[in-house]
Each structure stands twice: as C-alpha cells, then as structure tokens.
Structure 1
C-alpha cells in the first residue's frame, strides 16, 4: 500500500476514535447540561455509526486493491474494542455525568478484595475476550479475502500485518487475564459496596 493510502487509513482510525468521544461527551453534555433528552439519545445512537463508517472505509480501501497493512489490522482491533467496551464506557461516563450534573447517586467502586471487585475483573476480562474475538474474526475475514496462507514460521508471522496482530491479540488477552482475574480469588463478601 502506498504510504499516503496507509496514512489515510491511520487518520481514519484516529478520526473514528475522536468521533466516538465527541459523540459520547456531546450526548452527555446535551442531556445533563442542556436538558435535551431526545437530542442526546440521537447523539449517543450515533456512536455505533462511527464503527459502520470505519468498516465502510476499510472495505472500500481493500476493494480498490490496497495491500494488507497494519492500518487495516488496527481498524479491526479498534472495531472489536469499541463493540465490546463501547456500551460499558457509555454507561460509566453517564453515571459520572448524572452524579455531577443531575444530582444522581455517586458511582460505587467495589472495595479492594471484595467479591464485587472480583466479578468486575472477570466481566472486564470477558469484554477483552469478546473484543479479541471480534477483531480476530475480522482479521480472519481479511486473511481469507486476501488469500494469505498460514505463516510457516514465526518470522513470516511477524512480517504479516494480519497474522502478527492475531498473535498479539492472544498475548494481550492472556496478559489481561494474568493481571486481572487469574489471581483475584473469590473475594471477601464483607467488603462489597464500598463507595468510591
């Protein structure tokens, strides 16, 4: 892929990330500061459309004969993570805006070592698994479309943008598991529900 086309795809990914936050924060500002509930709903519903636009751009780029690139692989990872974490991120931000600007309840963070914290670690890791699965599925579709064979060596794998990112997804998922729920135990019931 020519450098300018790959750069354009990187710009599209960065623009998608920026649009995600603009729509999210804009929707919450309109809801809680301007008190325009219906408009905020439309803005927040626009958040998934960012993903649709990015998929369309990647598909159009590949349809025009673009060679496999790290930018395409990163777009797949971005889509996986926004689909898996998008709703939770919106709910997290909404709870904080509601508390700060609409006299809502203070967000609650489970106490360290509590069962609620352990459940939260498992939920977060399962979102990582979902994100990695979505990204891996998209990358495998890209591999199938390109007709790329499975790499025969670690060196070939490291050189190919899709296969190398597929391998990296496995490492990230395993690392997140080890850093999160793997050694968290079951948690202590008496520590649940502590305020942030």
Structure 2
C-alpha cells in the first residue's frame, strides 16, 4: 500500500511535468492541458487501491491513513499546486515575466487558505470513515478503527498550527500587505 501511495505521488508530479513540457517546449497546449487535467485520475487510482486493499483483507494501518490525508490535500489544493508549477515553469525555464496573482489582503488570504485546509481535512476524514466502514464486521475491525481514527489527532494539530500561524497571526501582527499565491 505504501508503494501505491508513493507511485501515485510520483504519478501526480510526472503528469504535471509532462503537461508543462507538452504545453511549452513541444508547443502542444491541448495535450499539455489534458495531461495536467489528468492528475485527478491519480487520486481516483489511489482511492481504488485503498478500497481494494481493505476489501481483500488488507490490515488498515499507516499507509491507509496517509492515503486519506494525501487525497484530502490533493483534491483541495491540487489545482493551486498545478497553477503554481505552471507559473514557476514559465518564470524559471522560459524566463517570462509572470506576475503572481493578487489574492487580496493577507488576512483574507490566510482565512481562505485555512478554510481550504479544513475542507482537505473533511475530505480526509470522509476517506478515513469509508475505510472504517470497509473493515467493519471483520475480525480486526476494532483495532483497525482505532488505527484509522488515530489520524484525527495529528490532523487537528496541523489545523490548529495553521490557524495560529495563518489567520490569527494576521489579526495579531497585520502587515497590511497583499499576499500573492
């Protein structure tokens, strides 16, 4: 299962790199767009691997929790990661003057980003609970449920840190600056 997660993460970045290469050096914008748009397929594959593993008797563990967190992050932040990679490629490789998008006042930006983090955590929680349902009724159901739900504490810790270093920090020490992506 860990191998599947690593393969999916690598696949995500390979699709982004291939999409950027097709889009710019090869001057195939449609092909590049298709490759970039295919990155959610990697998420679907990871979800499929996770479900198959659990349905065929795989013991829920670290890899399944990590898959849930990866899916939450990828679903919510994937588009932004791709857009940022596109800007970075154009700036560093093509030496284009690509301005960062003006996202507005820093407090607003941090609050929206925190909202996205909450959404990513909600997606991860949904995936974890689906995993719990998949193992219910099996001999290891109680231990598996405990293992999977143990991910809630680190997820909550990350969200608290994000809240404090993001929106709360902007309230306490506002800079008045606008943030870029």
Task: Report the TM-score, using the length of structure 2 for normalisation.
Answer: 0.84
Residue 183 of structure 1 aligns to a residue in which SS? helix
1:80-111 Cα offsets, whole Å, 9 max, x none, are: 0100110111111122223442735332578x
Partner residue in 1 for 2:130: 141
2:96 aligned with 1:118: no
Q: Which runs of 4+ in 1 moved over 4 A?
A: 186-189
Residue 132 of structure 1: which of 112, 116, 121 is its match? 121
Higher Cα Rg, which structure: 1
State whether structure 2 residue 99 is matched by structure 1 residue 106.
Answer: yes
Cross-structure match for 2:153: 167
Structure 2 unaligned segments of length 5 or more: list them: none
Q: How many residues align?
A: 174
Deviation track 1:101-133 (CA, whole Å, cap 9, x = no partner) reads 2735332578xxxx6222222222112111111
- 8 Å CA contact retained: 1:99, 1:107: no
Separation of aligned partners in 2, 1:10 and 1:143: 18
- How large is the RMSD of aligned CA atoms in angstroms? 2.6
Separation of aligned partners in 2, 1:183 and 1:160: 34
Tell me: CA distance 1:95–1:160, structure 2 relative to 1, closer, same or farther (3 Å). Answer: same
Q: Could you tell me whether the CA contact under 8 Å between 1:128 and 1:173 is conserved in 2? A: yes
Partners of 1:121 and 1:21 lie apart in 2 by 26
Taking the aligned partners of 2:59 and 2:171, their CA distance within structure 1 comes to: 46
Deviation for aligned residue 1:49: 0.4
Distance 1:68 1:103 in 2: 47
CA spacing shift, 1:53–1:192, aligned 2, 3 Å? closer
Distance, in Å, in 2 between the alignment partners of 1:61 and 1:146 is 10
CA positional deviation for 1:21 = 0.7
* 1:137-186 per-position Cα deviation (integer Å, ceiling 9, x unaligned): 111121233238xxxxxxx99x9321110222112111111111112129
2:44 and 2:19 map into 1 onto residues whose CA distance is 19
Aligned to 2:164: 178
Residue ranges of structure 1 left out of the alignment (5+ in a row) = 1-8, 149-155
